[in-house]
Amino acid sequence: MYLTKNENLKRLPLHLHKYVVNQNYANYTPEDHAVWRYMMRISFDFLAENAHQSFVEGLKQTGICFEKIPNIDEINSILEKIGWAAVCVDGFIPPTVFMEFQAYHVLVIAADIRSIGHIEYTPAPDIFHEAAGHAPIIADAEYAEYLRLFGAIGSKAISSKRDNDLYEAIRRLSIVKENRHSTAEEISEAELQVVEIQRYMGEMSEMSKIRNLHWWTVEYGLIGEFENPKLYGAGLLSSIGESVNCLSERVIKLPYTIEAADKSFDITTQQPQLFVTPNFIHLTIVLNEFADTMALRLGGAKSVQKAIDSEAEASVELSSGLQISGIFTRMILDEQGEIAYLKTTGPSMLCERERVMIGHGVNVHTEGFGTPIGLLKNMQSPLENMSLQHLAQIGIITGLWVRLDFQSGVCVEGKLKYIRKNKYGKVLLMTFVDCTVRFNDEILFQPEWGVYDMAVGKQVTSVFAGLADKNEAEAQTYVSDTFTQHAMQSDAQLMRYYQEIRDFRIKSKGDSKLTKLYQKVMIDYPDNWLLSIEIYELAIQLKIAKLASSIKTDLLGKVERFPQFATLILNGIRIIENH
């Protein structure tokens, strides 16, 4: 995948590989590197005092470079030391996929770098947000474990049909707003699409809620004392505008609780309120509190209904430990409202401990899978707990004709071919030939359909999104057909100036050459504040007082002429003069 030998990347399941893109490092322009350098210097100056201490320590530990955009292989070599890895992706990826990468200790990094026009805040994920925001903080062991657990739980959350529409609309909006060539009409149209979809989302899905928790912690979380919190969310750590603004009284501070799951967010603007956690351990407490409300931990009929409503691949785990994966399309309930029968449609698989059972992959159960759930009539002990001797005592013997009458009203009748147990002695599966399955007067399976495999389980203990064994079949995870728009920099002369400045920093070429370079910049690009900041820094370092004074005067003039850049310019001057 990459040149690195990072072991975490080797463990990634194949279905995640389709989201990985090449970084194309050579495509970063000298201006891109200048933007990275400016943001790193400004951010660190502020965050050294206002970020959680683990971020500052992690930045040193991970060795993220200030001078240039890091190479993905360099990042992997660094992250491997703290048990993590990284891959490049194209902008926003589906939340469930993002979280699954996280569960494998893999950080996803958007390969693009924000444009100079969005240097304070970008609506789209970029390499500065991921590499300089996420990477350093995961050096903290408690926080890293929270990320891993969040990924493991979040990737199992069940989505609604509308969740994907919203994801696609938000992805498109972020792309349009970051593209410097987008028109006001295009931006307005994309914003309206997001608003319209949100208006008709209906009841929030598990994925919607856990995505909110992720946003208010991993992306935009505050930590520590409520009156004087520190930053730890990557969205705050990587936004030189919002990192300052978020600590002001204009932004409402709320204690972080499970109620944050119900608070939606706007990804394209600064947040009007933020949540404060007292410590990283509290994050895991709230996460587990939310997970206790999920189908993953609850099971039962309501959880199965969530899977059916999603119309997507899901898995049901029975009390025996058997897992059924596929697209669930039907659930029959008995008179007490308990599950009597489950059915999938299309390719399905049977698994145990998230590994497909031999002979029960999607190539076998191509048309779907159906099974009764529950106890047999007049029996207190579930089938899964019975020994072979006990089964024989009630007439369940391989090679013989067997009739199973369930309390729910389901009847399975046929010749028992095989009983499959796991290593702990749990009965997982019974295989019949010449089998008929009925629920009252309805035929659910008939002999001419072939062999009937009956899953064994008293109840459904867990339901979660996706296939139990993702390596057995190509998981039907969604990949957007909308790609980020790379506005290629066509101004070759501007790039040459940025490169000349970088060359000066590596090896001084003399006072007169720097002065001449500045004079040419002022003729060709008199309004470019970042070029002037870069040259001003060199003039200060080389102690060219006359040139430095002239540049500062011009920069202060730009503050007056371009108030939208005033804070950026003044911060740049302050950093240079204080260092």
Residues 402-418 have pLDDT tens digits of 999 999 999 999 999 99
Task: Give the Cα separation of 459 and 437 in Å (integer).
Answer: 19
Query: Taking Cα atoms as reference points, which of 387, 382, 495, 467 lies closest to residue 29?
Result: 495
Tens digit of each residue's pLDDT (9 = 90 or more) over 556-575: 999 999 999 999 999 999 99
Comparing CA positions, the residue from 246, 247, 384 lying closest to residue 321 is: 384
Q: Give the pLDDT of residue 573.
A: 95
- Give the containing element (helix H, strand E) for 29: none
Structure tokens at 8: 């975490």
The whole-number pLDDT of residue 335 equals: 93
Taking the CA atoms of residue 19, residue 25, residue 27 and residue 28 in that order, the dihedral angle to the nearest 10 degrees is: 110
Distance CA 270, CA 293 (A): 30
Residues whose CB falls within 8 Å of the CB of residue 408, separated by 6 or more in sequence, listed in order: 332, 334, 338, 339, 340, 341, 372, 373, 374, 439
Q: Which two tokens stand for residue 253?
A: 């501070």
Domain 7-160+203-288: CATH architecture, name and number where available: Orthogonal Bundle (1.10)
In this prediction, residue 496 carries a pLDDT of 94
Determine the pLDDT at residue 414.
Answer: 98
Amino acid 488: pLDDT: 55
Q: How far apart are CA 547 and CA 513, in angstroms?
A: 11
How many beta carbons lie within 10 A of that of residue 67, not counting itself? 13
What own/partner pairs with CB < 8 Å and gap ≥ 24 does 504-513 have?
504/538, 505/67, 505/538, 508/542, 511/542, 511/544, 511/547
* Sign for the pseudo-dihedral over CA of 523, 528, 531, 535: positive
Q: What is the pLDDT along the chain (579 residues), one digit of tens a residue?
A: 555 567 788 888 888 888 999 998 999 999 999 999 999 999 888 898 999 999 988 887 777 888 899 898 888 888 888 889 999 998 888 888 889 999 999 999 888 888 888 887 776 778 888 888 888 888 899 999 999 999 999 999 999 877 877 778 877 887 787 777 778 888 888 888 887 777 777 788 999 999 999 999 999 999 999 989 999 999 899 888 888 889 999 999 999 999 999 998 877 678 999 999 999 999 999 999 999 999 999 999 999 999 999 999 999 999 999 999 999 999 999 999 999 999 999 999 999 999 999 999 999 999 999 999 999 999 999 999 999 999 999 999 999 999 999 999 999 999 999 999 999 999 999 999 999 999 999 999 999 999 999 999 999 999 999 999 988 765 445 555 555 545 555 689 999 999 999 988 887 666 788 999 999 999 999 999 999 999 999 999 889 999 999 999 999 999 999 999 999 999 999 999 987
Assess contact for 224 and 254: CB atoms under 8 A.
no
Task: Give the pLDDT of residue 473.
Answer: 67
DSSP string, 162-211: HHHHHHHHHHHHHHHHH-TT--HHHHHHHHHHHHHHHHT--SPPHHHHHH
